[in-house]
Chains A and B, each alone.
Chain A
């Protein structure tokens, strides 16, 4: 199986834009259209959120999109059906993001096996502790070649970051602020110092900065210190007001990249 992350990072080492959306939002069947429109608009990685009733690490925007998606009938099973032929349509790296409980109920091995069949590339489970991954789950992730993506924060120790770097094959999710997703403040001096510290560690794994990235100036700033950024809540807010049409998505991605001024 080809490593789409490797392929991407070989080709492009900076200004990587990873866009998150919640599967089943705004409508149950929005998934494929969003994927397509994001690719056309120039997203480099797509992160698909599997909605959960109790998303502890998410702010109000993603809590709401998750609740709507669940009401619309989204589930892991439905999402897998929607992604059935996805590799005939796009070669973008696709990451699934969700919480551990629904994955465990589906069955971790069955879940990873299904991801492998669909050629999903990576998985973010923010409430999967590193220690449990190493002791219990790593074998299965390796067996099915699904790449785990771990988060680091301003208070993650250097030793722990090094350990995460060794375990990572996709990218490291650099949490910009000590916050749940979706807050809109600018980066503080302390945050910039933290970005610099991570950059100076010269990790082997590319870093993408997420949380609090919602505008072009954020994106530009993060790209100084990392390979790129992850945008979630700001995109969901855009979808909420402007919809998922190709022109809507293009105007949003353009506004983040700075090639288009959002009307």
Chain B
């Protein structure tokens, strides 16, 4: 049987590992040697579960989307991570990692962020625990995700603008790693996705696995069966997808669908669809699929969604996709915008731009009649309103407009 989970050396098949400079070796060793014991300890589990329940508001609902289901002739359930405190799944991971950082006696927290959701989730748990918080964010993302920058500042975090490279998530991650190299003893780096050196991909996936754990229970309650036929999630680095897939990875009867950002078009040169355009290499200390030139220079990606604007993909997803356990669908900026407006108007839910990609994929899948589909609604769209409104003319129909006059 194919092995989909991580092995002892921190690899998923050919992908993963810890290609770190020596300066980070002690930190990564410490994490690697301690993370499973800490996470499994009763004390950790108690604190983690309690905070997820009372602070984050878990379990997040599994909502049967009646109108979408009628439209696509399937039973479509939405896993409402958008209803978590701070508005996305990202906080599941930051709660876990801040507790871990406390166990490791760290006093200073750093993070990278793209859309700002992970930055907000990190700033939130740092406020909660009284820890210093520094968030690196690409200068381009600071512009397009202004509301989240304001939230981070209000929560007491220091947001540092990154001006190198494409000024987006990749560059923010580089800068956070450099910060960690410069502050190796007192600092814990809370990575926001299932990327980076081992043990991060596995650690983040475990914290996010609460999503599929709940899906199992909720599906059982609502359908009498604890698994869906298909799970759909958007993938940048891939943390919400990792969480939604986690308990189903070895159940091959469940189709796993990872939705990537195709930007202006898959082959337009302005895309972030790593599974199609990427080749094997090393990014952020992990061997995985990434978009690169023939010379091994990392290519600057493009997506309208800051959270998917990343030239790599978590090693777990690289393994799931290359072994064909999971399937990738690429969605353009335009298709994502359309799906966001559609979901807003059909179900009354404004999704994050990242999440909108997962909904756009519904158009590209042929469903068996009445099959059970779970879409991971990873985040809410308040932060993207500025972008959405730019395109309002295209998607708000004339009748509504004349009503408004």
Give complex CA distance A190, B167 in Å.
Answer: 36
Is there an interface contact between B21 and A75, defined as CB atoms closer than 8 Å? no
Is there an interface contact between A129 and B20, defined as CB atoms closer than 8 Å? yes
Give complex CA distance A72, B169 in Å.
Answer: 25
Is there an interface contact between A56 and B285, defined as CB atoms closer than 8 Å? yes
> Is residue B269 within 8 Å, beta carbon to beta carbon, of the partner chain?
no
Q: Given A101-B296, A102-B297, does the pair A179, B25 have CB atoms closer than 8 Å?
A: no
Is there an interface contact between B298 and A54, defined as CB atoms closer than 8 Å? yes
Pick the interface stretch among B102-110, B170-178, B359-367, B383-391: B170-178
**Number of A-B residue pairs having CB atoms within 8 Å of each other in the complex:** 98
- Chain A interface residue count, Cβ-Cβ cutoff 8 angstroms: 38
Q: Digit string of B80-107 for contact with A (CB within 8 Å is 1, else 0)?
A: 0000000000000000000000000000
Give complex CA distance A150, B25 in Å.
Answer: 13
* Residues of chain A lying within 8 A (CB to CB) of residue B284: 56
Residue of B nearest to A126 (CB): B21
Pick the interface stretch among A7-15, A31-39, A103-111, A198-206: A103-111
Is there an interface contact between A102 and B296, defined as CB atoms closer than 8 Å? yes
* Residues of chain A lying within 8 A (CB to CB) of residue B123: none
Q: Digit string of A126-138 for contact with B (CB within 8 Å is 1, else 0)?
A: 1111101000000
> Is residue A239 within 8 Å, beta carbon to beta carbon, of the partner chain?
no
Interface residues in A35-88 (C-beta closer than 8 Å to B): 52-54, 56-57, 59, 63, 67, 70, 75-77
Give complex CA distance A75, B296 in Å.
Answer: 9
Taking the nearest CB of chain B, how far is it from the CB of A124, in angstroms? 11
Is there an interface contact between A105 and B22, defined as CB atoms closer than 8 Å? no
Give complex CA distance A188, B284 in Å.
Answer: 30
* Residues of chain B lying within 8 A (CB to CB) of residue A103: 296
Q: Digit string of A162-199 for contact with B (CB within 8 Å is 1, else 0)?
A: 00000000000001001110010000000000000000
Pick the interface stretch among A152-160, A219-227, A241-249: A152-160
Is there an interface contact between B283 and A105, defined as CB atoms closer than 8 Å? no
Give complex CA distance A102, B299 in Å.
Answer: 12
Is there an interface contact between B184 and A178, defined as CB atoms closer than 8 Å? yes
Is there an interface contact between A151 and B22, defined as CB atoms closer than 8 Å? yes
Residue of A nearest to B19 (CB): A127
Is there an interface contact between A155 and B181, defined as CB atoms closer than 8 Å? no
8 further A-B contacts with Cβ under 8 Å, apart from A155-B26, A180-B182, are: A54-B283, A70-B297, A101-B283, A104-B281, A104-B282, A127-B21, A132-B17, A183-B182
Task: Please list 11 pairs of residues, one from A and one from B, whose beta carbons are closer than 8 Å in the complex, sorted by A's number.
Answer: A54-B298, A56-B284, A56-B285, A101-B292, A105-B292, A106-B295, A127-B21, A129-B18, A151-B22, A155-B25, A183-B182
